[in-house]
């Protein structure tokens, strides 16, 4: 590996001798580990994306279905919430389905996992 080119032309000799004196600089410390970490990282988001999708898709479908079925009730509930929040009324009535809360929570978890996948992918690409 360190042998000089076998057929150095005469006009190459001067420069070849000059550059032969140039010392090799070692790769930075931890270079190999850094490369291997970046290679390994690229596989993580695949699982994370799949997990995020498994959480998000059913939740979104359920929320969409709920909205389609009881959109008017939902609008009233939101309006009541705003009324209560602004303090113009002394009471507010709204009904929240437990499954809707669960779907929203799962959607939030999917968002977190997806965000982590994006960050990991970005760090690996950097």
User: Which positions lie near other proteins, rule CB under 8 A?
Assistant: 1-5, 11-12, 14-16, 18-28, 31-32, 34-36, 38-40
Q: How far from chain centre, in Å, is Cα 20? A: 47
By beta-carbon proximity to other proteins, the closer residue of 23 and 87 is: 23
DSSP code per residue over 8-42? --HHHHHHHHHHHTSPPPPPPTTHHHHHHHHHHHT
CB of 73 to other proteins, least distance (A): 51
CB of 74 to other proteins, least distance (A): 47
By beta-carbon proximity to other proteins, the closer residue of 24 and 98 is: 24
By beta-carbon proximity to other proteins, the closer residue of 3 and 68 is: 3
CB of 49 to other proteins, least distance (A): 18
SS (H, E, C) 72-124: HHHHHHHHHHHHHHHCCCCCCCCCCCHHHHHHHHHHHHHHHHHHHHHHHHHHH
CB of 83 to other proteins, least distance (A): 56
By beta-carbon proximity to other proteins, the closer residue of 40 and 96 is: 40
Helix (H, G, I), strand (E, B) or coil at 44: helix
């Amino acid at each position: 590996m360190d042998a000089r080119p076998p057929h150095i032309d005469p006009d190459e000799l001067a420069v070849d001798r000059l550059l032969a004196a140039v010392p090799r600089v070692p790769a930075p410390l931890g270079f190999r580990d850094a490369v291997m970490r970046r290679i390994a990282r690229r596989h993580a988001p695949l699982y994370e994306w799949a997990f995020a999708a498994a959480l998000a898709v059913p939740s979104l479908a359920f929320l969409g279905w709920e909205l389609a079925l009881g959109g008017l009730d939902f609008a009233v509930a939101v309006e009541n919430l705003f009324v209560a929040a602004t303090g113009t009324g002394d009471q507010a009535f709204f009904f929240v389905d437990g499954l809707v809360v669960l779907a929203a929570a799962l959607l939030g978890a999917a968002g977190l996992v997806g965000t982590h996948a994006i960050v990991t992918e970005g760090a690996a690409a950097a």
